């Protein structure tokens, strides 16, 4: 069990949920955000000009495009406040056993009938290259739309984070895990389709193998993914994602208080040309 949490940590997760994360590599929290909060997020996701100006596409192995917008610093707009809210940050600090900072967030815009697949990979498969020595890293995926098998929900190999980091290589415009390892892992770890209701939050470990299929349905599958690194895992070198930058936590009520506030340049959106993942 983690022991060195910051003194101000509110500990939103129960010990059983932390054990689940340690065993399975993920823990699902239904209703992490309520309907009103998700409506606000969907409004910003649709209307935020800067966010769409910085959106880019990644091609899967079949030539289908997946659209996303990615930023390094949270800022004080709605998505920034969400990623600084205690229900996520304090939970992350419980899961990673100490202070965390915002590593980046991304809005995944998996569009109806066109949204491409993501190859099996571990996030730490890329983040390792950025000078992060330890896999003390995790993400929280928040479903903005309902995520189902039909619209290409996230899939995970339950418990596969226990393998540690595996080799990654280039497939199409994406980086994926060594296919031989993935095939072997698929025989030993349960394959779970994370079908989520809007507002659900999936906390998952940086070494959990995950993927998603193309969206062949008439429904979009948009989600926000907020990624964190442990403060004690400050990267030893510069990369396209930040080194330790103290995170200013906000109370959960700040999400509704800020309302549909759009983003500003301070977020440091990623230029796709700088993305080496």
Give min distance, CB of 149 to ligand SIN, in A: 12
Q: Which three-class secondary structure state does DSSP give residue 187?
A: helix
- Beta-carbon contacts of 53 under 8 Å, excluding residues fewer than 6 positions away, are none
> With respect to ligand SIN, which residue has the nearer C-beta, 98 or 206?
206
Q: How far is the CB of 16 from ligand SIN (least distance, A)?
A: 26
Burial class (CB in 10 A: 0-12, 13-18, 19+), 8: exposed
Instruction: Return d(Cα 8, Cα 145) in angstroms, integer.
Output: 32
C-alpha span between 151 and 113 (Å, rounded):
8
Contacts with ligand SIN in 97-126 (CB under 6 A)?
A: 108, 118
**Residue 108 contact among ligand SIN, Mn ion, none, beta carbon within 5 to 8 Å by kind:** ligand SIN
Nearer to Mn ion, 90 or 123 (CB): 123
**Does residue 210 interact with ligand SIN by CB under 6 A?**
yes
Give which of ligand SIN, Mn ion, none residue 229 binds (C-beta under 5 to 8 Å, depending on kind).
none
Residue number, 140 or 255, with CB nearest to ligand SIN: 140
Which residue in 175, 212, 215, 233 binds ligand SIN (CB under 6 A)? 212
Q: Which residue is nearest to ligand SIN (CB)?
A: 212
Considering only residues 136 through 175, tell me which ones interact with ligand SIN, judged by CB under 6 A: 154
Partner interacting with residue 82 (select from ligand SIN, Mn ion, none; CB below 5-8 Å by kind)? none
CA angle at 91 for the pair 85 and 97, rounded to the nearest 5°: 130
Closer to ligand SIN at the Cβ: 103 or 118? Answer: 118
User: Any bridge partners for residue 28, and if so which?
Assistant: 202
Concatenating the DSSP letter of every residue in 21-51 gives HHHHSEEEETTSS-HHHHHHHHHHHHH-HHH
Counting residues that bind ligand SIN (by CB under 6 A) gives 7
Both structure tokens of 69: 């917008």
Instruction: Give the integer Cα–Cα distance in Å for 103 and 6.
Output: 18
- Rounded distance between C-alpha atoms, residue 79 and residue 52, angstroms: 14
Return residues touching Mn ion (CB under 5 A): 123
CA pseudo-torsion sign 167, 27, 98, 108: positive
> At closest approach, how far in Å is the CB of 259 from ligand SIN?
26
Residue among 53 and 167 whose Cβ is closer to Mn ion: 167
How many angstroms separate the CA atoms of 37 and 42, rounded? 9
Closer of 94 and 174 to Mn ion (Cβ): 174
Place of tokens 């009520």: 253
Minimum distance from residue 104 beta carbon to Mn ion (Å): 11
* CB nearer ligand SIN, residue 177 or residue 258: 177
Give the position of tokens 């415009």: 173
The residues that touch ligand SIN, with contacts defined as CB under 6 A, are 108, 118, 154, 210, 212, 223, 225
């Amino acid at each position: 069990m983690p022991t060195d949490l910051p003194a101000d940590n509110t500990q939103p997760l129960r010990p059983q949920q932390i054990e689940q994360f340690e065993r399975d590599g993920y823990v699902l929290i239904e209703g992490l955000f309520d309907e009103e909060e998700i409506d606000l997020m969907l409004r910003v996701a649709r209307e935020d000009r800067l966010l769409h100006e910085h959106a880019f596409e990644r091609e899967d192995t079949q030539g289908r495009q997946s659209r996303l917008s990615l930023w390094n610093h949270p800022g004080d707009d709605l998505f920034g406040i969400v990623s600084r809210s205690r229900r996520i940050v304090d939970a992350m600090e419980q899961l990673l056993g100490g202070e965390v900072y915002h590593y980046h967030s991304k809005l995944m815009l998996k569009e109806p009938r066109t949204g491409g697949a993501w190859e099996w990979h571990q996030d730490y498969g890329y983040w390792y290259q950025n000078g992060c020595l330890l896999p003390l890293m995790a993400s929280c995926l928040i479903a903005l739309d309902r995520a189902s098998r039909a619209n290409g929900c996230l899939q995970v190999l339950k418990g596969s984070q226990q393998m540690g980091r595996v080799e990654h290589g280039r497939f199409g415009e994406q980086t994926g895990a060594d296919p031989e390892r993935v095939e072997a892992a698929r025989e030993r770890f349960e394959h779970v389709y994370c079908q989520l209701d809007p507002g659900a939050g999936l906390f998952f470990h940086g070494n959990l193998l995950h993927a998603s299929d193309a969206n062949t349905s008439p429904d979009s599958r948009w989600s926000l993914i907020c990624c964190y690194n442990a403060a004690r895992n400050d990267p030893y070198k510069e990369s396209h994602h930040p080194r330790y930058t103290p995170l200013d936590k906000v109370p959960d009520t700040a999400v509704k208080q800020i309302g549909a506030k759009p983003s500003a340049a301070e977020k440091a959106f990623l230029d796709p040309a700088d993305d080496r993942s």
